[in-house]
Amino acid sequence: MTTWHLARGFRFAGVVSGLRSEPDRRDLAVIVSDSPAAAAGVFTQNRVCAAPVQISKARLPRGDARAIVICSGNANACTGEQGVRDAERMAELVAKDLGCYPQQVLVASTGVIGRPLPMAILEAGIPKAVASAARGTVHFDDAAHAILTTDTKIKVSTREVGEHAITGFAKGAAMIGPNMATMLGFLVTDAAVAPDALHALLKRCADDTFNCISVEGHTSTNDTVFLLANGAGPPLAGEELQRFEHAVHAVCQDLARQIAADAEGANHLITLDVEGCRSDAEARVIAKAVADSPLVKTAVFGADPNWGRVVSAAGYAGVPFEEKNLSLWMGDMLLYKDGTPLPFDASTASAYLKANREVHFRLRFNLGPGRCTFYTCDLTYEYVKLNADYTT
């Protein structure tokens, strides 16, 4: 087990509650801050959003959060009013044992949509999780495992700024379309940051990282990223705050990349660099269209250097351009220059896709300074298999 550099003043637990059918599978996590923490969150932009998203959103930003409780295996989405009551009850159970208000507890869930939460399991499991929350790598590792669904590994990232640490963990795997994914991400820091500043910087960081990954473009109902800052002393300001934001950005970027690389069934991590657009926003729209194209993703899976699929996906993104504005590289091979195809060796190009777990496409426009880096993955038999048989 790796030893993570953990932010001070937080306890973690990940326990086996029985929400999942697999025996001994950790499925319930809590993060407890010893002292009231500034808290911010960003959430799915899906109109159909899960009960835990609804209640947590209403509680943020705030300056006195004490805990986060997360269950995996059931999304508590599309569950009507009962779902909201169940999510509130999850927070109450934590609050009771911590001796705080339910409003000081945030909730996240991931798993199957449309099934009521089995509350008997959580009534027993949550007190057990809170009781076992403790400092240190072992407990942190348990929590990082307990939030996973079809992920094959935990995603963890930490950075230091001065005396402070920012520690984050996340889960991804599928139903990952930007804005955001059933990706859940949890960042904790022992720095002191005012709630509003925390919210603004988390939003900027997530926008540029978690919102620039895609597995299949299906935006989840449950996407959530929380950031808790429990540091004592005066809140960071000025240059210190800027350095802190850079570190948060780095943790988010690192976690986002790990999510794309460990997407369901993925054999390849695909990095798309789109540059030279009129704006960053236009670059992102193009990157997302390419990233979401099943034809691009199956071509990478099959090591088929069918670059026309990349160019044609850019073409239907809805951003105006002419072919002569665009050049395309795969790895360091220039395949399409200012709208004209260049001769290339198909077997070399195919070997590039076959040999590299991480592959790179660069789309260069000549329209302006806008750019975006976007991460996605290939579309494999394994993805189809995993998703053809998820609930039954």
Active site residues: 182
Radius of gyration of the chain (CA): 21
Determine which residue in the list 33, 230, 253, 380 makes contact with a second copy, applying CB under 8 A.
Answer: 380
Question: Closest CB to a second copy among 256 and 379?
Answer: 379
Task: Compute how many other C-beta atoms are within 10 angstroms of the C-beta atom of residue 79.
Answer: 21
Distance of CA 311 to the CA centre of its chain: 27
Q: Does 219 bind a second copy (CB under 8 A)?
A: yes
CA distance 122 to 196: 32
Nearest distance from C-beta of residue 78 to a second copy, angstroms: 5
Q: From 211, 298, 200, 224, select the one nearest 253 (Cα to Cα).
A: 211
Nearest distance from C-beta of residue 244 to a second copy, angstroms: 32
Start-to-end C-alpha separation, the chain = 34
Is the separation of the CB atoms in 28 and 19 below 8 Å? yes
Question: Closest CB to a second copy among 109 and 189?
Answer: 109
Q: Does 138 bind a second copy (CB under 8 A)?
A: no
# binding residues, a second copy (CB under 8 A): 74
Q: Give the 3-state secondary structure of residue 219.
A: coil
Determine which residue in the list 121, 146, 263, 319 makes contact with a second copy, applying CB under 8 A.
Answer: 319
Q: Does 78 bind a second copy (CB under 8 A)?
A: yes
Q: Does 214 bind a second copy (CB under 8 A)?
A: no
CA-CA distances (angstroms) from residue 209 to 182, 183, 189, 256? 14, 12, 19, 6
Query: What would the two tokens of residue 246 be?
Result: 């850079």
- Count Cα neighbours of 193 within 13 Å in the Cβ-side half-sphere: 30
Burial of 318 (0-12, 13-18, 19+ CB in 10 A): exposed
Residues 157-176 that bind a second copy (CB under 8 A): 174-175
- The pairing of strands 10-15 and 28-43 is antiparallel
Residues 7-46 that bind a second copy (CB under 8 A): 45-46
Is the separation of the CB atoms in 217 and 263 below 8 Å? no
The stretch near a second copy (CB under 8 A) out of 35-43, 108-116, 356-364, 366-374 is: 108-116
Q: Does 381 bind a second copy (CB under 8 A)?
A: yes
Determine which residue in the list 140, 186, 336, 365 makes contact with a second copy, applying CB under 8 A.
Answer: 336
Q: Does 216 bind a second copy (CB under 8 A)?
A: yes
Q: Does 279 bind a second copy (CB under 8 A)?
A: no
CA distance 16 to 67: 19
Determine which residue in the list 350, 352, 360, 368 makes contact with a second copy, applying CB under 8 A.
Answer: 350
Determine which residue in the list 17, 79, 110, 230 makes contact with a second copy, applying CB under 8 A.
Answer: 79
CA distance 355 to 140: 35
Q: Does 294 bind a second copy (CB under 8 A)?
A: yes
Nearest distance from C-beta of residue 239 to a second copy, angstroms: 38
The stretch near a second copy (CB under 8 A) out of 142-150, 241-249, 291-299, 361-369 is: 291-299
Q: Does 316 bind a second copy (CB under 8 A)?
A: yes
DSSP state of 116: -
Question: Closest CB to a second copy among 54 and 103?
Answer: 54
Nearest distance from C-beta of residue 301 to a second copy, angstroms: 5
Q: Does 331 bind a second copy (CB under 8 A)?
A: no
